[in-house]
């Protein structure tokens, strides 16, 4: 991987990580377009580069993380199902599923349809005002209490179970948790906020598990590979901050249907390319 390729991949990872469009799918597709040779390093790069995005969330939300024991425990409760299932299916996902462009096309397409359907169901069921869909940073004790009331431990665990579907490339961790939250009837601002926070232990665990499992391959990395990873990490961190702030502004006046249509169109385009090119 060249430095320029790493720059592009880092930007894509950071900006797409917290949008419900699957950063993993975009990284795999970008690797194909940029003609980056398939290797153990590339698979690990696509997973470990998420550390930059994790750091971005920690920087933006560290006060929230450590200001409420109840919220911290709910994040932990949601993380437990993902950690268990992740350990069981790690090798299958990395060695087989991450190489299937047909699978990515299918999950992008189906995920888009599901996201749109759940949004329609959510709007019909709750009939909320547009301005209530906004998400604001929790700065007051009252706002913290609101999240505590709106997500209980049972809901947290269920959201964690939904998140496990994101192990399949193209599903999207963000999309899975958002759909889970909408299904449970949570407000958009609540589930998006919780999804951001849940990303920290989930992505950190996935990255460190991969680093441990791939330690032998990592011992033989070239200086160019290490430089490419560092560049990707830095750009992932910067663009993840931009991506988070973009989503915060977007959700104030919009729902997730646009992301659903984006997924559908992208899935169709990938299928067409695979069929005819």
User: What pLDDT does 134 receive?
Assistant: 44
Nearest to 36, CA basis, from 64, 59, 7? 7
Taking the C-alpha atoms of residue 9 and residue 228, their distance in angstroms, rounded to an integer, is 10
Q: Would the pTM of this model clear 0.75, i.e. be above it?
A: yes
The rounded Cα 78 to chain-centroid distance in angstroms is 15
Taking the C-alpha atoms of residue 78 and residue 54, their distance in angstroms, rounded to an integer, is 17
Local confidence pLDDT in tens for the 277 residues of the chain: 788 988 998 999 899 988 999 888 888 888 888 888 777 777 777 777 888 888 898 888 878 777 778 888 899 999 998 888 877 776 676 666 666 788 899 999 999 999 998 888 777 666 544 444 444 444 444 444 444 446 889 899 999 999 888 888 888 888 899 888 888 888 887 888 888 888 888 888 877 877 776 666 666 677 787 888 888 889 999 999 999 889 888 888 888 899 999 999 999 999 998 888 6
Cβ atoms within 10 Å, residue 142 = 8
Structure token digits, residue 234? 């830095």
Nearest to 5, CA basis, from 40, 46, 53, 55? 46
Contact call for residues 247 and 193 (beta carbons, < 8 A): no
What is the C-alpha end-to-end distance of the chain, expressed in Å?
24
User: What pLDDT does 263 receive?
Assistant: 94
User: What pLDDT does 131 receive?
Assistant: 43
Nearest to 6, CA basis, from 205, 224, 199? 224
Domain spans of the chain, in order of start? 3-276
17-48 pLDDT, tens digit each: 889 998 888 888 888 888 887 777 777 777 77
User: What pLDDT does 61 receive?
Assistant: 83
Three-class SS string for 248-260?
Answer: HHHHHHCCCHHHH
């Amino acid at each position: 991987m060249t430095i320029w390729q790493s720059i592009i991949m880092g930007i894509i990872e950071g900006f797409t990580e917290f949008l419900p469009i699957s950063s993993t799918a975009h990284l795999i597709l970008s690797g194909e377009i940029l003609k980056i040779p398939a290797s153990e390093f590339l698979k690990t790069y696509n997973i470990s580069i998420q550390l930059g995005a994790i750091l971005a969330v920690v920087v933006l939300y560290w006060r929230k993380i450590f200001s409420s024991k109840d919220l911290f425990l709910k994040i932990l409760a949601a993380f437990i199902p993902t950690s268990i299932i992740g350990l069981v299916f790690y090798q299958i996902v990395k060695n087989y599923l991450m190489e299937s462009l047909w699978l990515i096309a299918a999950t992008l397409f189906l995920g888009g349809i599901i996201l749109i359907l759940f949004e329609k169901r959510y709007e019909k069921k709750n009939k909320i005002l547009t301005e209530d869909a906004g998400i604001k940073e929790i700065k007051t004790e009252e706002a913290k209490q609101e999240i505590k009331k709106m997500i209980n431990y049972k809901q947290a665990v269920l959201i964690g179970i939904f998140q496990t579907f994101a192990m399949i490339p193209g599903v999207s961790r963000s999309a899975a948790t958002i759909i889970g939250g909408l299904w449970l009837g949570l407000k958009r601002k609540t589930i998006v906020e919780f999804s951001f926070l849940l990303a920290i232990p989930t992505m950190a665990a996935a990255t460190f598990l991969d680093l441990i499992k791939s330690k032998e391959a990592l011992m033989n990395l070239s200086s160019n590979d290490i430089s490419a990873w560092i560049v990707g990490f830095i750009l992932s961190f910067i663009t993840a901050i931009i991506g988070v702030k973009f989503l915060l502004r977007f959700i104030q006046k919009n729902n997730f249907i646009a992301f659903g249509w984006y997924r559908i169109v992208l899935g169709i385009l990938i299928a067409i390319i695979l069929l005819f090119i």
